Amino acid sequence: MSNGGKPQTAITPTRADNYQDWYQEVIKAADLAENSDVRGCMVIKPWGYALWENIQRVLDGMFKATGHVNAYFPLFIPVSFLEKEAAHVEGFAKECAVVTHHRLEARNGKLIPVGELEEPLVVRPTSETIIGASFAKWVQSYRDLPLLINQWANVVRWEMRTRLFLRTAEFLWQEGHTAHSSADEAVEETMKMLGVYAEFAEQYMAMPVIQGEKTAGERFPGAVQTYCIEAMMQDRKALQAGTSHFLGQNFAKASGIQFTDVNNQLTHAWTTSWGVSTRLVGGMIMTHADDDGMICPPKLAPQHVVIMPIARKPEERQRVIDYCKSLKKELEAQQYAGAPVRVLIDDRDSGGGKSWHWIKKGVPIRLEIGPRDIDADSVSMGRRDKGAKDKASVTRGELVAKVTSILDEIQQALFDRALAYRKEHTREINTKDEFYEFFKDPPKKKDSDPTPIHAGFAMAHFNGDPALEAKIKDDLKVTVRCIPLGGGEPGTCPFTGQPSKQRVVWAKSY
């Protein structure tokens, strides 16, 4: 099959040819996850789950360092709890798994649900109401506040159109829930956790993000203010990668979280919630992966280094393996990002396919070691941030001394590349025509062609009118991703000529 003179790549199709199929193929080639037989639910395979475990470990440390403790609350929420907050039930009732029975009985050779529940239970789509019920019991006095709780859990939202990691009926996440004795303190918490998410995204995922506030239309159901981090994917759509909500007293009133304040007045608490999910794995893929497959940012990579012994003659094999083992030990004695360097020896007897196997899985550093390398006391090294055929020979001593700085270089290179990409595809737009032109997708050659890569982020002024935002969403499938923190120069809304406080980020989104 001719490939039209293009360089050969491990993933077919390429990003440019069909971005959505490329995404699925990268996941498959790296063995990260797969669809299950249960509608909308995914199986997270060991390599994908290892990325999530590393995300969890780092974030959990950051949550604890900011004073939070973990707890666990019920999977099931009585429908009456959900109803307590009007906007909240409106937001979640349309897509939830409802438990109605507690037994199966065989009738005519078929298992039938029996034992109907008096009150149906919803599988948690989020836990504000069920955690609120506990907080109401735990809080009496201002001395009981703040309550700073986090939960690692699975949640279910009955999505009709799912996509691995990005949108699935069941997903894994953490949800922070806090209660405070003043609005100011709750707002401060909301912003602090947004900052934690931004730091994590940029420093660990190597994924540049814009921190900002959501407009009313994109707010969490029941929240007073929703803040988010937004990242640009390689199809130039935005991914909302984490949210932090100031809930005011809305949920405290719904759940009865009250305390006697310093003046002995009974007052409702101010609460927050904040979460990130397995969606972050999707974000990593779409930020870093290339036409050769996954690229794991070193700080979260399941393995930092893979060593591939190459011994064609059986009599050489033991010598090469021994050399690899002793090198592994030396590398593992190095500390990277607070833990030993993670090294894997792939001594499967499978020849030349091994290197591509690990390229597709996105391991940061690949080492090939054969008898001649040993004689020269050197190794052949490939870095995943460089081309598949770009290999360098380094001495063993140099490699051991530099392995952590090479990992740092790769981590930084990934971040720099992603930031440059975002900058390249972000444009300040000042007229309505230019805006509509920017977001008009290039024409497809035929109807069955995949959606092409989009234009990017538009930084444009906006008068804040929800009706205008709705019209633009209707026309272009473009929304305000966020109103960036830190403000900006005031100006004129290009759609209405009215005054605008600052430019906002417009984009198509996941």
> Which residues bind to a second copy, rule: CB under 8 A?
34, 36-38, 41-46, 49-50, 52-53, 69-79, 81-83, 89, 93-106, 111, 113, 115, 120-123, 130, 133-134, 137, 149, 153-154, 156, 158, 170, 172
Distance of closest approach, residue 49 Cβ to a second copy, in angstroms: 5
For a second copy, the closer CB: 121 or 209: 121
With contact defined as beta carbons under 8 Å apart, do 259 and 44 qualify? Answer: no
Where does 139-216 have alpha helices with state H? 183-203
For a second copy, the closer CB: 80 or 412: 80
With contact defined as beta carbons under 8 Å apart, do 225 and 273 qualify? Answer: no
For a second copy, the closer CB: 306 or 369: 306
Distance of closest approach, residue 179 Cβ to a second copy, in angstroms: 14
User: Vertex 510, ends 304 and 17: CA angle to 5°?
Assistant: 75
Distance of closest approach, residue 146 Cβ to a second copy, in angstroms: 13
For a second copy, the closer CB: 83 or 390: 83
100 contact partners, CB below 8 Å, separation of at least 6 = 113, 116, 117, 120
Distance of closest approach, residue 62 Cβ to a second copy, in angstroms: 16
Q: How many CB atoms lie within 10 A of CB 74?
A: 13
For a second copy, the closer CB: 57 or 372: 57
With contact defined as beta carbons under 8 Å apart, do 397 and 416 qualify? Answer: no
Distance of closest approach, residue 171 Cβ to a second copy, in angstroms: 10
For a second copy, the closer CB: 19 or 73: 73
Distance of closest approach, residue 339 Cβ to a second copy, in angstroms: 13
For a second copy, the closer CB: 4 or 109: 109
Q: Kind and range of the H or E element at 476?
A: helix 466-476
For a second copy, the closer CB: 111 or 333: 111
Taking alpha carbons only, the member of 136, 148, 131, 222 closest to residue 185 is 148
Q: How many CB atoms lie within 10 A of CB 17?
A: 16
Q: What are all long-range contacts of 409-415, with beta carbons under 8 Å and residues at least 24 apart?
A: 409/385, 410/297, 410/298, 410/364, 410/365, 410/383, 410/384, 410/385, 411/206, 411/297, 411/298, 411/299, 412/206, 413/385, 414/206, 414/287, 414/288, 414/295, 414/297, 414/385, 415/202, 415/206, 415/207, 415/208
Say how far apart CA 30 and CA 45 lie, in whole Å: 10
Distance of closest approach, residue 91 Cβ to a second copy, in angstroms: 12
Distance of closest approach, residue 98 Cβ to a second copy, in angstroms: 4
